[in-house]
Structure 1
Amino acid sequence: MPRFLPAPQPAFVTFDNQRIDYTLAFRSRRTIGFAVRPDGTVRVTAPAGVPLSWVQQQVLKKADWILKHQEAFRQRAPLQPTRHYEAGALHYFLGEAYPLVFIETAKPGVRLAAGQLHIGSPAPLAPEAVAALLHQWYAREAVAHFAAAFARIWPRFAEFQLPPPALLVRSMRTRWGSCTPSTNRIRLSVDLIRASPDCIDYVLLHECCHLLVPDHSARFYVLQTRLMPDWERWKTELNGLPK
């Protein structure tokens, strides 16, 4: 006779005062599997016949990994957003929208002037070339503006007597920033320069907090809230940044 397995069921565990909800499915397999989806939902697939208490223990062992991936999806930058590169198309810089204006110049380049992003070149440019010029300009601007943001944020960490981290600007497809405490490095996405200075400060402070707490436990959010009580406001603004 065929073996009927129970339908997937909702379940949860509590880890460091945080509730982790997941969908539990029993299947004909030997090992337990975990998956965190882009919307933050968690699916656990366990061998048929194992007790629920055992599954809960395994989820707790994996809790740090689950929370880390949920936060990564929450922090992710837009995946290759659709942008337009014709005259008048709006592009964001430090939270403000500027239309593209094409002008004839001896050398290709980008300049912010009179509330417009001037794209200069000796001949008309294909959209791909305009995108590349803008990316290069954003990257150059990001270095200075991210350094200014660090100068605003880092004094809040003075009490911890940490060595200042290396700050790197990178093209990042899925995240606004990342931190590697073991190498004392913080990476920020070039696309973050499109956001307002307050949003940049939030992302940078978030990553600096990881120098002290590498995971996204309750202790991490207590620290982040103490150093930036209004961080949720800037996170919401950042998530609403037009593509």
Structure 2
Amino acid sequence: MQLVVSDVAVEVTRKDIKNMHLRVQPPDGRVVLSAPYSVSDAAIDGFVASKLAWIRKQQTDIASQKRQTQREGVTGETMYVWGKQCFLTVVEGRGYSVDIAGQDAILTVRAGSSFEQREAHMREWYRKQLQNETERRLPVWEERTGLFCAEWKTKYMKTRWGSCNPGVRRIWLNVQLAKHPVACLDYVILHELAHFVERSHGPKFVAVLDEYMPTWRSVRKELNNGPLDYIR
């Protein structure tokens, strides 16, 4: 259901949880609330009203985040690779490839290729970067925490950096993490593993983050304030 509190629209989902959880999600500052089945509508209204100042600050922060301009796949554009800004040079060749040398990113494309073809190749290139790094980093965090996933996959997501299904111990990672520092990938991996301990973001969940990554709050802030390129 949706409710409006002092001109703030809130999407409310009732779940089998103990406490209410409020989120302001990029890229549009959408406000989402998870609430226990037992909580009344009046209690939800009061909870949201008490958080209005925080909600507006989060929405302001999201609105000011740096985003990549709409790409056209041409020389002179910028791209981010593991937190580093690179400058794109497009050259024609027999196939598609991406080569990074310092701050230079050389994108080789077929003659007459469309933007859609170039974009599709770039997306798959980013996916491969994330897959390679996850294969390296995930076992480290599994060994540290003793929390193991049965399967992990990658996909483009508009509003989440990761998601998981604790029941089958499956993790999904947003391909766009490859644009951010590796520490951000570490945080998302740990975040999703922590949900194997507690499905919500309650005390047990936070305790896992605090124990294995004491700096997780600053890393999360860096991730959410980094370059964004949400998929249309």
2:139 to 147, 151, 162: 151
The answer to which of 186-195 and 126-135 deviates more is 126-135
Q: What is the deviation of 1:156?
A: 1.9
Q: For residue 40 of structure 1, what is the aligned residue in structure 2?
A: 31
Q: TM-score, normalised by structure 1?
A: 0.66
Match of 1:176 in 2: 161
Shift, 1:142, TM fit: 1.3
Which is higher, the Rg of structure 1 or of structure 2?
1
Determine whether 1:112 maps to 2:103. no
> Secondary structure at the residue paired with 1:103?
strand
Write the distance in 2 (CA, Å) between the matches of 1:43 and 1:181: 18
> Structure 1 residues 42, 180: closer, same or farther in 2, change over 3 A?
closer
Number of matched pairs:
190
1:121 corresponds, among 109, 112, 134, to: 109
1:59-100 CA-to-partner distances (Å, cap 9, x unmatched) read: 5xxxxxxxxxx9xx99x9x9x964322211111111111111
* Residues 1:230 and 2:215 aligned together: yes
1:19 to partner: Cα distance = 7.8
Residue 88 of structure 1 aligns to a residue whose secondary structure is coil
Could you tell me which runs of 5 or more consecutive residues in structure 2 were left unpaired when the two chains were aligned. Answer: 7-16, 23-27, 45-54
- 1:193 maps onto 2:181 in alignment: no
Structure 1: gaps (5+ residues) = 1-7, 10-14, 22-36, 45-52, 60-69
1:217 is aligned to 202
Alpha-carbon contact 1:110-1:133 (below 8 Å) kept = no
Question: In 2, distance between residues paired with 1:55 and 1:119?
Answer: 54
| Change beyond 3 A, Cα 1:38–1:115 | closer
Query: Which stretch of structure 1 is more off in the superposition, 93-102 or 217-226?
Result: 217-226
Does the CA-based 8 Å contact 1:199-1:235 persist in structure 2?
A: yes
User: What is the aligned-residue RMSD (CA, Å)?
Assistant: 3.6
Alignment partners' CA distance in 1, 2:202 and 2:31 = 16
What is the TM-score when the length of structure 2 is the normalising length?
0.69
Letter in 1 for 2:171: I
Once residues 173 and 43 of structure 1 are traced to their aligned partners in structure 2, the CA distance between those partners, rounded to angstroms, is 19
1:137 to 116, 120, 125: 125
State the distance in 1 between where 2:112 and 2:87 align.
17
